[in-house]
């Protein structure tokens, strides 16, 4: 799906989630055939023509101005991250599969590598749980406490082998250990989906990203439902209650530091002097392989298809 098609789908979905009562439009007891606002109502709120807005939803308009997009964002009550996502979709190349220039054959993306500067930062954070992820949430590197906190059940050398790198989105949705790790798993899952939405808006022609989304949609009904909701979230800082198999329950703040080119350094910190801080400091000295393994699945814990 190219950027224009994604733009139309995003607009249709978010319009359907906004009811007349949300924007002060009286219903007068009428029964509506479609959920949410009508196209003409949204166009009126945004101050644009109905035919023009219709073309946007149908992926036919190629020249939406920033002012028009901002007006539509206000009408849809979008948050800042969602507004930026809307702009990214609107200015993305309109090159659907099989059309446009080039041979039509998608290039295999080159393996991502940790930059020298990011490697230096990871080394400086040797005693703080840290992982480096790529554009599509592949784990490019982690330090010892980062591996022990987030994925101690996996081979610590896996990020060094591009073909076998763990992927944090896959782990959150498809891995029992990671699912059990988060006390409020839905909050973590929504953050992962929201971040993938942001990346998809910036890189609508990323075939590897589309393949990841397709895989997760097929294997996890939870992911498919959250992806279809079209919520966009920028989670630079988030606090999570975790249930670690070696050090027990603790609350950590996960901070994401964006690096070039498209790499993220995810750091987990705790309040100084807290029991969680003490537990986290011990984690690097424990053997993560000694942790009990969760059962492959629990009844009702994961809804997957395929």
* Pair of tokens at residue 70: 């901002």
Looking at residue 8, its pLDDT comes to 87
116-290: which CATH topology?
Beta-Lactamase (3.30.450)
Looking at residue 17, its pLDDT comes to 87
Looking at residue 114, its pLDDT comes to 92
Taking the C-alpha atoms of residue 133 and residue 303, their distance in angstroms, rounded to an integer, is 26
Taking the C-alpha atoms of residue 1 and residue 97, their distance in angstroms, rounded to an integer, is 8
The helix/strand/coil state of 184 is coil
Looking at residue 217, its pLDDT comes to 96
Looking at residue 92, its pLDDT comes to 66
From the list 187, 155, 162, the residue with the least C-alpha distance to 172 is 187
Taking the C-alpha atoms of residue 36 and residue 17, their distance in angstroms, rounded to an integer, is 5
Looking at residue 153, its pLDDT comes to 93
Looking at residue 108, its pLDDT comes to 59
pLDDT less than 50: residues of the chain: 94-104, 297-306
Looking at residue 301, its pLDDT comes to 44
From the list 107, 137, 112, 151, the residue with the least C-alpha distance to 246 is 151
Taking the C-alpha atoms of residue 127 and residue 124, their distance in angstroms, rounded to an integer, is 8
Q: Does 3-90 match 116-290 in CATH topology?
A: no
From the list 264, 265, 199, the residue with the least C-alpha distance to 227 is 199
The helix/strand/coil state of 287 is coil
Looking at residue 84, its pLDDT comes to 86
* Pair of tokens at residue 297: 């699945």
Is the preceding omega at residue 261 within 30 degrees of 0, hence cis?
A: yes
Taking the C-alpha atoms of residue 167 and residue 117, their distance in angstroms, rounded to an integer, is 22
The ranges assigned to domains in the chain are 3-90, 116-290
Taking the C-alpha atoms of residue 226 and residue 180, their distance in angstroms, rounded to an integer, is 19
With tokens 């979709």, the residue in question is 89
Looking at residue 22, its pLDDT comes to 80
Looking at residue 284, its pLDDT comes to 73
Spatial contact of 179 and 185, defined as CB atoms under 8 Å apart: yes
For the domain 3-90, what is the CATH superfamily, name and number? lambda repressor-like DNA-binding domains (1.10.260.40)
């Amino acid at each position: 799906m190219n950027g224009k098609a994604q733009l139309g789908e995003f607009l249709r979905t978010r319009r359907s989630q906004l009811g007349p009562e949300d924007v002060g439009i009286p219903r007068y007891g009428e029964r509506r055939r479609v959920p949410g606002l009508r196209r003409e109502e949204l166009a009126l709120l945004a101050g644009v023509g109905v035919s023009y807005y219709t073309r946007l939803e149908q992926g036919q308009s190629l020249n939406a101005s920033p002012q028009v997009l901002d007006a539509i964002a206000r009408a849809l009550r979008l948050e800042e991250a969602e507004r930026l996502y809307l702009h990214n979709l609107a200015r993305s190349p309109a090159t659907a599969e099989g059309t446009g220039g080039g041979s039509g054959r998608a290039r295999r993306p080159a393996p991502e590598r940790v930059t020298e500067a990011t490697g230096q930062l990871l080394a400086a954070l040797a005693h703080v749980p840290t992982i480096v992820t790529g554009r599509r949430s592949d784990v490019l590197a982690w330090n010892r406490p980062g591996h022990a906190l987030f994925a101690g059940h996996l081979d610590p050398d896996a990020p060094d082998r591009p073909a076998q790198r763990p992927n944090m989105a896959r782990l959150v949705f498809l891995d029992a250990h990671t699912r059990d790790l988060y006390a409020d798993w839905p909050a973590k899952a929504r953050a992962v989906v929201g971040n993938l939405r942001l990346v998809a808006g910036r890189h609508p022609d990323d075939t590897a990203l589309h393949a990841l989304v397709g895989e997760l949609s097929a294997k996890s009904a939870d992911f498919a439902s959250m992806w279809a909701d079209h919520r966009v979230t920028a989670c630079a800082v988030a606090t999570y209650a975790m249930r670690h198999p070696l050090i027990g329950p603790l609350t950590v703040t996960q901070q994401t530091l964006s690096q070039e080119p498209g790499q993220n350094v995810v750091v987990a910190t705790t309040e100084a002097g807290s029991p969680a801080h003490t537990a986290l400091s011990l984690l690097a000295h424990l053997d993560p392989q000694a942790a009990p393994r969760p059962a492959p699945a629990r009844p009702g814990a994961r809804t997957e298809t395929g």
